[in-house]
A and B are shown apart, each in its own frame.
Chain A
Amino acid sequence: MKIFERKNIIVQQPEIFEGEYVLDVEDLKIRYETDDAVVYAVNGIDLKLKRKQTLGLVGETGAGKTSTVLALLKLIPTPPGVVEAKKILVNGKDVMTLSDKELQHIRGNEIAMVFQDPMTSLDPVYTVGEQIAESYMIHDKLSKKEALEEAKKMLEIVGIPAERSTDFPYQFSGGMKQRVVIAIALACRPNILIADEPTTALDVTIQSQVLDLMKKLNEQYQTSTIMITHDLGIVAETCDEVAVMYAGQIVEKGTLEDVFENTKHPYTEGLFNSLPNMNDRNSKLNPIKGLIPDPTIVFAGCPFAERCRYAKEKCFKQKPTVKHLSESHQVKCLRYDEVDFKIERALK
């Protein structure tokens, strides 16, 4: 595909991947071996991302969301990290077997990341234009002058006037900085975008501006997205599919309708019931009791059992496996099909 033409150079999009899944991860395990203990961050997850789809990865602090996506870019520091998987395919290529040079080509070109905190992910001593231009110089082999011109175009696309490309990050507000980060991520037209809590540090009106922009750009660039968030409202508004993570496992996965309308896992239920009910402000919040488990513990049974209000004896002894409710909907719970098991969710 021809993207743009300048002088005699024609810049080609890296060959378009034609497979059904741009991401295909099987049995991913990540642990961090520290001097004190072994931290089991991700414990065997399968993840597939279809083209042009947005997958929401939901869970609380320490669920393993960020470790999971860092593994996709092979960015887990080893040591102390140890990454194991049957496969981690990005556009059909297994990142586990790629050389550093090949990885560098994939990062930014095929898969890019927007980090949570725009205040710390920009370099304070370079102008924003230079920071965007860097991608063009590395990946598209443009000269600095050409790259800076492209950077200006990209700034306009994310809604920042081109003349501000010579400003430094401190001269921008939080929302504007996040736009710059998005511009950097999208500069080389990756077909996979990973957004790690992209709006958590922003105010609510700025959050809606940024989400709106991301949605527009996803359509324009036909990007597949993984959206990491703890906010179920953001998932509802931006995602096609949802995976709920708890203690390094995906406990429930399905389409937005599957997970939001036909909730099957007690943890997902607990997340919903922890939110204030916008239809009835007098209803009491029903938080999940207890705390997330220590990630150094290896569980004999279901990791959620000790906090689960439906847990029976077997839940503490037997590990749940992935059960398919339909083609799209799956849940990891031992009791999901028992007759006396019924999820109670207040409609919000």
Chain B
Amino acid sequence: MSEVLLKVIDLKKYFKTPKGMLRAVDGVSFTIEKGKTLGIVGESGCGKSTTGRSILRLTEPTSGQVIFDGKDILKLSKKEMVAMRKEMQIIFQDPFSSLDPKMTVSQLIKEPLVIHKIYTNNEDIEKRIRELMELVGLTPRLYDSYPHELDGGRRQRIGIARALAVNPKFIVCDEPVSALDVSIQAQILNLLKELQEKLDLTYIFVTHDLSVVYYFADDIAVMYLGKLVEKAPAEELFANPKHPYTQALLSAIPSVDIRKKKERIILKGEITSPINLPDYCRFANRCSYCQQDCKNGDPKLVEISPNHFVACFHPLGKEGIL
């Protein structure tokens, strides 16, 4: 059993809105072992990005515990948290809006080094910038370029270099390849995987793309309206989905295999608003397996086979898509 790096217990993030309380993240718990990747998947508005951000306290969670390397980081002061951020970093989705257009590539990579006062003299800083550029595959020629001169893939490499600058142990990758073309997407995924092996990084990989998360993550957590509905090792989840929502999500992935014609499960309706949620199973209204008792209570996440957790009163027994 390897070492647990991050333990999240009953994490909640509520937003007050004029229409009522928006429960973006509503009691999420999981653990990640060192050097592993947890993929969080779900559709827009399910709370996957908010979960990632709450763990880093980029948005302050409403309640819960985030235990990183043995410390509950939600109890840290602002100053202690700044120091903690050296260990925990984030890569954002949109490499077009997450970089300051007035800064050059080298200035962008330098920024975290200066904030965290990692080096005292300029030579060391420059050496480190060049080292990071090489690490993420940016040619030295781009040292003084501006982001607008670069394509999406290269901009995302800058984002990765910025995150790696402070030698973190843990990185939240928030849809890091969603804005990129397929060939560039594969380049960035390969880079992130290489870096993980080289630097022994632990990732949370937030995405809506199930084929990417299948390739990238060791464990996958499926979120629906602020709750984890299923969590299992990647292969197990794809081979043996237990939650009707997971099954529908998997069946909706368009497959490039033209010989394998599969049955698509078309879900009724759309994701409902996370405001004024029902006090029973949140998926019940869209679920084709919904039964009478599904509206009697809120299902808890339970371990139904080793490492396979599901929150459903009537877990499926059927085969998955593999």
What is the interface of chain A, defined by CB distance below 8 A to chain B?
60-61, 173-176, 203-209, 211-212, 230-237, 256-257, 260-261, 270-279, 281, 284-288, 291-292, 347-348
Contact = CB atoms under 8 A, between A and B. Distances in A.
Contact of B322 (A235, A278, A288): A278
28 contacts: A60-B181, A61-B181, A203-B43, A203-B44, A205-B248, A205-B267, A206-B43, A208-B264, A209-B267, A211-B254, A230-B181, A233-B255, A235-B256, A261-B258, A272-B256, A273-B186, A274-B185, A278-B211, A278-B255, A278-B257, A281-B234, A284-B190, A286-B186, A287-B185, A287-B187, A287-B190, A347-B257, A348-B255
Given A203-B44, A208-B264, A209-B266, A60 B183 contact: yes
Contacts of B255: 233, 236-237, 278, 348
Contact of A275 (B190, B234, B251, B256): B256
B191 to A, nearest CB: 10
Interface string B210-231: 1110111000000000000000
Interface in B255-292: 255-258, 264, 266-267, 270-271
A26 B181 CA distance: 28
A206 B189 CA distance: 26
Interface of B: 43-44, 151, 153, 181-187, 189-190, 208, 210-212, 214-216, 234-235, 248-249, 251-258, 264, 266-267, 270-271, 322
A235 B216 CA distance: 24
Nearest to B268: A209
Given A205-B267, A281-B214, A230 B256 contact: no
B270 A230 contact: no
Contact of B270 (A175, A231, A285): A175
A60 B182 contact: yes
Q: Considering residues B187, B214, B249, B267, which has the most beta carbons from chain A within 10 angstroms of its beta carbon?
A: B187
A240 B115 CA distance: 55
B184 A291 contact: yes
B213 to A, nearest CB: 9
Given A256-B258, A285-B186, A287-B184, A208 B151 contact: no
B83 to A, nearest CB: 36
Most buried by B among A277, A279, A281: A281
B322 to A, nearest CB: 7
Contacts, number: 114
B185 A257 contact: no
Nearest to B43: A203
Contacts of B252: 204-205, 207-208
B256 A232 contact: yes
Given A61-B181, A277-B215, A287-B190, A208 B266 contact: yes
B258 A260 contact: yes
Given A61-B181, A278-B322, A292-B181, 17 more contacts: A203-B44, A205-B249, A230-B182, A232-B256, A233-B254, A233-B255, A236-B255, A236-B256, A237-B255, A273-B186, A274-B185, A275-B186, A276-B215, A281-B215, A285-B190, A287-B186, A291-B153
A212 B254 CA distance: 12
Contacts of A207: 252, 254
A130 to B, nearest CB: 23
A274 B271 CA distance: 31
Contacts of B256: 232-233, 235-236, 260, 272, 275, 348
Contacts of B186: 273-275, 285-287
Contacts of B187: 287
Contact of B215 (A60, A231, A285): A285
Contacts of A205: 43, 248-249, 252, 266-267
A285 B191 CA distance: 10
A274 B254 contact: no
A193 to B, nearest CB: 19
Contacts of B189: 276, 285
Given A236-B255, A287-B187, A287-B190, A203 B208 contact: yes
Nearest to B264: A208
A171 B153 CA distance: 35
A67 to B, nearest CB: 17
Contact of B183 (A203, A270, A276): A270
B215 A274 contact: no
A212 B256 CA distance: 17
A257 B258 contact: yes
A212 B266 contact: yes
Nearest to B321: A278
Contacts of B258: 236, 256-257, 260-261
A285 to B, nearest CB: 4
A278 B183 contact: no
Contacts of A237: 254-255
A209 B270 CA distance: 10
Contacts of A270: 183
Contacts of A347: 257
Nearest to A61: B181
Contacts of B212: 276
A230 B248 CA distance: 23
Nearest to A273: B186
